[in-house]
Amino acid sequence: MWKMILADGTELTGFSQNGNNYVSAEKVDESLFANNLSTLTLTDGEEEIVLHNAELVQQAHYEGVPGLEDGWYLCFREKTPQEVVVESLRSAAERSSGELSDLQLALAEVYEMMLGGV
């Protein structure tokens, strides 16, 4: 059996492997993976695969497909270095736009106070 160790140390156990998919008898709560795959360790006790900056590609259940009825298939991949840079830039831009908006709001409040005092 395989287990997954997420970046925050959370361990998910009871997976079998089918190609590059990890199969769970139960559907896995995908929110566990949100912002928690900077390091993903997959191990069966003998083999260990470590993914950096990973993402969940999909979690699929193939009901009625012969040979694939054994559970929920999870597939992960590593993001490319370019994808990591783009995400960093997007995140920085979002933070900056939020700070700019806060600054604009503060200035508007100051102007309102100044005008209200006239």
**CA angle at 86 for the pair 80 and 90, rounded to the nearest 5°:** 145
Question: Model confidence over 72-84: pLDDT tens digits?
Answer: 999 999 999 989 8
Residues 58 and 20 both lie in one domain: yes
Residues 73 and 20 both lie in one domain: yes
**Nearest residue to 70 (alpha-carbon basis) of 27, 29, 17, 24:** 24
Residues 91 and 73 both lie in one domain: no
Q: Which residues lie below 8 Å from residue 42, measured CB to CB, with a gap of 6+?
A: 2, 3, 4, 5, 22, 48, 49, 50, 51, 76
Q: For 96-114, what is the mean pLDDT?
A: 73
Q: How many domains are contained in the chain?
A: 2
Residues 58 and 89 both lie in one domain: no
What percent of the chain has pLDDT above 70?
94
Residues 69 and 109 both lie in one domain: no
Q: For 24-40, what is the mean pLDDT?
A: 96
Residues 85 and 67 both lie in one domain: no
Q: Which residues does residue 55 pair with via DSSP β-bridges, in sequence order?
A: 77
Residues 92 and 41 both lie in one domain: no
Pairwise pLDDT comparison (104 vs 79), residue with the higher score: 79
pTM across the whole model: 0.74
Question: Would you state the pLDDT for residue 117?
Answer: 53
* Structural domain harbouring 5: 1-79
